Structure 1
Amino acid sequence: MSTSWEPLPSIYRSKQEFLASLPPWRRLLQKLNWHPTVDLKVQRYAIEQRLLQLQNEDELLRKEDGRMRKEDERLKKLDARFAELDARLSAIVSSSSTNSNQHPPTHDRSEA
């Protein structure tokens, strides 16, 4: 039990915490005179804090979404570049294979 006549300093606390800080006789009087606005202030404060937390999380998600979009664009450009290089490589391989299938004319020494 608290021997202090003053309530706890925080204005954002529950009714139970406030009443626990009072001596027994003041606790009874305070129960009779309790104003629900204190509970509403506590609830409003909790809601405001939750709203701020959700706004911060939303901002972080938006930033991450922007980064992901930039990364997607970069990967699309790389895919296009790899497809272009793959097409060039296929063209080189196919042209070299057709050139290697043609045998140069051989000279028969017996005819000379």
Structure 2
Amino acid sequence: MSTSLESVPLKYRSSSDYLASLPPWRRLLARLNWHPVREIEIETWRVRIEKERLRRESEQIRNETEQIRKEAEQIRKEAEQIKNETEQMRTENERLRQERLRWKQLDAQIEALFCSDASCSIPATPIDDGSTPS
């Protein structure tokens, strides 16, 4: 059942609408016999329409709130995942930095083994362990 004002039976819209829908001779009789009950019926119908509209709006707000809650939970999970991935990348970067330092030390040791003081024309490069500023 539709709850728009257009779907309301003509006799329930207002007393003037009701009277306008009648033929002239019935209009005169209706004016003489108009009862306040008709106005109460009209108001009751309007209250029903408003109640239905508010119920639909409330349901829509409830649905939107639930959707927002789900999206917020999803964002929280994604943020946690990004935090974990960032920590893993930080750990991997530190491991790679340590590996590069180890390789530099090994290169320096190899260079020292193969070069004697007089025969090595390339001076050994100092080892950068990251603890001193450049």
Report the TM-score range of the alignment, normalised by the length of the smaller protein: 0.7 to 0.9
Partner residue, 1:99: 99
Amino acid at match of 1:83: K
Partner residue, 1:110: 116
Gaps of 5+ in 2: 1-8, 120-134
Measured in 2, the distance between the counterparts of 1:75 and 1:22 equals 62
Amino acid at match of 2:116: S
Measured in 1, the distance between the counterparts of 2:65 and 2:35 equals 46
Question: Does structure 1 conserve the Cα–Cα contact (< 8 Å) formed by 2:14 and 2:42?
Answer: yes
Partner residue, 1:14: 14
Amino acid at match of 2:53: Q
TM-score normalised to the size of structure 2?
A: 0.65
| Identical residues among aligned pairs (%) | 30
Measured in 1, the distance between the counterparts of 2:116 and 2:90 equals 42
Q: What SS does the aligned partner of 2:13 have?
A: coil
Q: Is 1:34 aligned with 2:40?
A: no
Of the structure 1 ranges 44-53 and 18-27, higher mean CA displacement relative to structure 2 is found in 18-27
Amino acid at match of 1:36: P
Partner residue, 1:6: none
Measured in 2, the distance between the counterparts of 1:10 and 1:79 equals 58
Shift in Å, 1:52: 0.7
C-alpha distance 10-20 of structure 1, shift in aligned 2 (>3 A):
closer
Partner residue, 1:49: 49
Over 6 Å off, 4+ runs: none
Aligned-residue CA RMSD in angstroms?
2.2
Structure holding more helix per residue: 2
Measured in 2, the distance between the counterparts of 1:21 and 1:41 equals 17
Q: What SS does the aligned partner of 1:110 have?
A: coil
Partner residue, 2:71: 71
Measured in 2, the distance between the counterparts of 1:23 and 1:108 equals 121
- Rg bigger for which structure? 2
Shift in Å, 1:14: 1.3
Query: What's the CA shift string for 1:28-58, capped at 9, x where partnerless?
Result: 3322321111121111101111111110111
TM-score normalised to the size of structure 1?
A: 0.76
